Amino acid sequence: MMNKDQKKQYIDDMTSQFDKSEAVIVTHYQGLTVSQLDELRKRMRQHGIIFKITKNRITKLALEKTKCKDISKLFTGPTAVAMSEDAITSAKILTKFSKENENLKILGGIMGKDILDVAGVQNVATLPTLDEARAKIVGILRSPAQKIASILLAPASKIAILALEKSKK
């Protein structure tokens, strides 16, 4: 049981975490073992994502004061929440983990100002991460430069070979 001060502290902590997070994804974890939950938390921590089992009634009080108040209806039953700056990574980890462990059920969430249902979270999970997107852009930008360089260098080498042959005569 939490006393009044602990409840107030919990509400304050959750309110600040919800406000700082760019993405919040709500799940049901009933049926997962402690080791499975530890494994999921470990994967999340590696990417700077907070995965926390919540106290629904108190969490709803914390949500009232935040930009995430529209998802308070998802907080019923054995609920855990993932809060992060990177919506895509948290959606990918949770979607992959829910496929491996059928007891983890994704309920929905919020990304920025957009409320997501289960399908929305799964769609976000298919998007490339920021690093993957950067790599693709660099690849796209590098490709034409390499082609231009090879086109520009090819005639010069042929001219140099031709000049060399002419000088030998």
pLDDT digits (tens, 9 = 90+) for 139-161: 777 777 666 666 566 666 666 66
Whole-structure pTM over 0.85, yes or no?
no
Helix (H, G, I), strand (E, B) or coil at 7: helix
pLDDT band for position 28 (cuts 50, 70, 90): very high
Instruction: Provide the token pair at 31.
Output: 């049926």
Pairing of strands 114-116, 50-53: unpaired
Average pLDDT rounded to a whole number, residues 126-135: 78
Exposed, middle or buried by CB within 10 Å (0-12, 13-18, 19+), for 167?
exposed
